[in-house]
Amino acid sequence: MVVGACTESGSSGPSAPAGSPTRGGVATVLIHEPTAQDLNKLTTFVQGTFWVTAQIFDTLTFIDQEGQTIPLIAESWSVSSDNLTWTFVIRNGVVFSDGSTLDADDVVFSIEDSMRPENPIGILLSAVESVQATDPQTVEIRLAYPYPALPEALSGVNFAIIPENWGGVEEAAFYENPIGSGPFMVDPEGQWLKGTAIDLIRNPNYWLEGRPYLNGVAFKTVTEQQRILQLRGGQADLIFGPDVTQSALDLQTTPGFNVVDVPTYRTMFIGLGQGFEPFTDVHVRRALAHAVDREALRAALFDFPIISGSYIPTELSVHDPDAGLPFDLAQARSELEQSAYEDGFDVSLLIDAGSQQENTLAQVLQQQFAEIGVTVKIEQVDLGARIEALVNGEFEMIAQDINQVTADPAEMTAWAIDPSFGAFFFTGYEDPALADLARRAARASDPTERQALYSQVQQAAAEAAYIIVPYNLPDIWSSTDRLRGVVLGLGDTIDLSGAFFSE
């Protein structure tokens, strides 16, 4: 990982920036995804919006750069001996941006609200039976069955804390002018072009003394080319990207700029659709999995990806580095010979037309699969069409990266396996025994048992090869030397509370 001067490591909540921070200035952050189309933190699962909502709302817990779950709004937490009751102590003195106090009732409301079916990752709270405030600073969560990763799950922005009953207004009205306890809030006099740009200003009531240092942050969605040019031209302070291309290396060596690649919980999946006849044969799927040379892929992507054969992100402790079928062309050919497709076949691979990284991935896979007689036709479609094809299972082969927003491995497992959520990554594959094993892993309270069960799950998924994982993707961020104190965390988080402009 390359770490530039713009990042700081977090250890206990938002970290202290290097140097002496100065107050003032508005940081312009340019990102690649539509931003702030809707600030409803519950229903939205768009990264470009998460980066904004994470500035407005706080979560009970936070994942630092070492992957540790640390206190944020919750000062501490504990679990009962039967692992069925969690007690969270709420930090004293936290107020919302309107000046009202954040207490246990707000937390209870927020968690109960998060359990609504509209929450895309509400499934992570399916163990929760009841939530209640035992005093103004204490919340008790009772579970139907043990769920050891609850504090990790509650780090997700979808579970952020909002005022009870949306502060007394309708939900839709609340999210037009949201109130949170985060370092920034929507600038009532600023620009909010939904999907394109939003101006945030400093929350004067932010609970962390003296912070934030910036007067505001402007998020804008622009193309990669413009992001790089505006950063170089002094119109932007922090940008997402460049993509894993030569541009990243070029910017890395340009004085005055920092390029940082941050590990994430982002897994790249190659899904093999069961509606495509050859992929119903496990030998064909395993042949393709053995034909993937991950080192070659990594080299083609300028060494940025982190090699992984498991669907569970490398940064999570239960990640099994031994999961995934190794690159072995002889074995790949042998597997194919055991199928009805020993002479190979033609298959289409669906990718996002706007992603240079996926384009490179597809071209390299095309070459690698050709080695065993499989001809890949690359089909580029826009993101919307690709997502529709994925969730409807209308693909032969598809490339799609998934980012999990909590530090709970059950989240990515839900995508890769859970029949009621990702449904074996929408491939149409079915394996009730594997789904059951995954459920047991998620509920195992003993860390050793949990690790062992998750290893079994990862290895079984890799052996079945309905998905092939080539690598994990880091996020690349670039900034000017002037902007300091930005914390780029795991789970694609940006903490700007300690960001400031140096003299």
Partner 1 sequence: MSRTRWLVRRLAQAAVVALGVVLIVFLLIHLVPGDPARAVLGIAASPEAIAKLHREWGLDDSLPRQLLLYLGRLGGGDLGDSLLYGQPVTQVIRERIGPTAWLMGLATVMSVIIAVPLGVVAAIRRDKIADHLARIVPMIGFAMPPAWVGIMLILVFSLGLEWFPVGGYGEGLLGHARSMFLPSLTAALIMAPILVRSIRASMIDALDSDYVDTARSKGISEGRVLVRHALRNALTSSVTVVGLNVGILLGTTVVIERVFATPGIGSLLVDGALSRDFPVVQGVTLLLALAVILVYLLTDLALLLLDPRIAAQ
| Residue 238 is a binding residue for partner 1 (CB under 8 A) | no
Instruction: Give start and end residues of each alpha helix (H) in 417-482.
Output: 432-443, 447-464
Q: How far is CA 303 from CA 245, 299, 308, 319, 416, in A?
A: 10, 5, 13, 21, 25
Least gap, CB of 45 to partner 1 (angstroms): 3
Instruction: Give start and end residues of each alpha helix (H) in 160-316.
Output: 171-176, 224-232, 246-252, 282-291, 294-300
Segment interacting with partner 1, rule: CB under 8 A, options 194-202, 237-245, 368-376, 476-484:
194-202
| Residue 137 is a binding residue for partner 1 (CB under 8 A) | no
Q: Segment 46-75, which members bind partner 1 (CB under 8 A)? A: 46-47, 49
Provide the token pair at 200: 């945030």
Query: What is the rounded radius of gyration, in angstroms, for the C-alpha atoms of the chain?
Result: 23
Provide the token pair at 172: 């839709």
| Residue 451 is a binding residue for partner 1 (CB under 8 A) | no
Instruction: Give start and end residues of each alpha helix (H) in 68-125.
Output: 104-114
| Residue 235 is a binding residue for partner 1 (CB under 8 A) | yes
Segment interacting with partner 1, rule: CB under 8 A, options 192-200, 249-257, 260-268, 438-446:
192-200
Q: What φ, ψ does residue 100 adopt, rounded to 5°?
A: -75, 150
Least gap, CB of 94 to partner 1 (angstroms): 28
Indicate the burial class of 417 (C-beta count within 10 angstroms; 0-12, 13-18, 19 or more).
Answer: buried
| Residue 193 is a binding residue for partner 1 (CB under 8 A) | yes
Q: How many residues bind partner 1 (CB under 8 A)?
A: 43
| Residue 263 is a binding residue for partner 1 (CB under 8 A) | no
Q: How far apart are the first and last CA of the chain?
A: 27
Least gap, CB of 229 to partner 1 (angstroms): 5
Helix, strand, or coil here: 292?
coil
Question: What residues are paired with 347 via a beta bridge?
Answer: 376
Per CB under 8 A, the list member of 387, 435, 452, 460 interacting with partner 1 is: 387
Report the alpha-carbon angle 12-110-154, nearest 5.
Answer: 40
Least gap, CB of 188 to partner 1 (angstroms): 17
- Taking the least distance from each CB to partner 1, the nearer of 34 and 344 is 34
Per CB under 8 A, the list member of 142, 232, 283, 333 interacting with partner 1 is: 232
Segment interacting with partner 1, rule: CB under 8 A, options 270-278, 283-291, 355-363, 385-393:
385-393
| Residue 117 is a binding residue for partner 1 (CB under 8 A) | yes
CA 203 centroid distance within chain:
26
Least gap, CB of 38 to partner 1 (angstroms): 6
| Residue 166 is a binding residue for partner 1 (CB under 8 A) | no
Contact residues for 118 (Cβ-Cβ < 8 A; gap 6+): 42, 43
| Residue 312 is a binding residue for partner 1 (CB under 8 A) | no
CA 383 centroid distance within chain:
17
| Residue 119 is a binding residue for partner 1 (CB under 8 A) | yes
Contact residues for 433 (Cβ-Cβ < 8 A; gap 6+): none
Q: How far apart are CA 246 and CA 411, in angstroms?
A: 33
Least gap, CB of 195 to partner 1 (angstroms): 5
Indicate the burial class of 68 (C-beta count within 10 angstroms; 0-12, 13-18, 19 or more).
Answer: middle
Segment interacting with partner 1, rule: CB under 8 A, options 76-84, 120-128, 312-320, 480-488:
120-128
Q: How far apart are CA 368 and CA 373, in angstroms?
A: 9
Contact residues for 444 (Cβ-Cβ < 8 A; gap 6+): 146, 148, 450, 453
Per CB under 8 A, the list member of 68, 87, 100, 196 interacting with partner 1 is: 196
Residue with tokens 């995508």: 415
Per CB under 8 A, the list member of 223, 246, 317, 367 interacting with partner 1 is: 223
Per CB under 8 A, the list member of 230, 274, 339, 451 interacting with partner 1 is: 230
| Residue 463 is a binding residue for partner 1 (CB under 8 A) | no
- Taking the least distance from each CB to partner 1, the nearer of 137 and 230 is 230
- Taking the least distance from each CB to partner 1, the nearer of 77 and 311 is 311
Least gap, CB of 145 to partner 1 (angstroms): 22
| Residue 121 is a binding residue for partner 1 (CB under 8 A) | yes
Helix, strand, or coil here: 146?
coil
| Residue 43 is a binding residue for partner 1 (CB under 8 A) | yes
Per CB under 8 A, the list member of 4, 25, 195, 344 interacting with partner 1 is: 195
| Residue 385 is a binding residue for partner 1 (CB under 8 A) | yes
Q: How far apart are CA 396 and CA 167, in angstroms?
A: 48
| Residue 222 is a binding residue for partner 1 (CB under 8 A) | yes
Residue with tokens 């047991």: 440
Interface with partner 1 (CB under 8 A): 34, 37-38, 43-47, 49, 116-122, 193-197, 220, 222-223, 225-226, 229-230, 232-233, 235, 381-385, 387-391, 400, 402
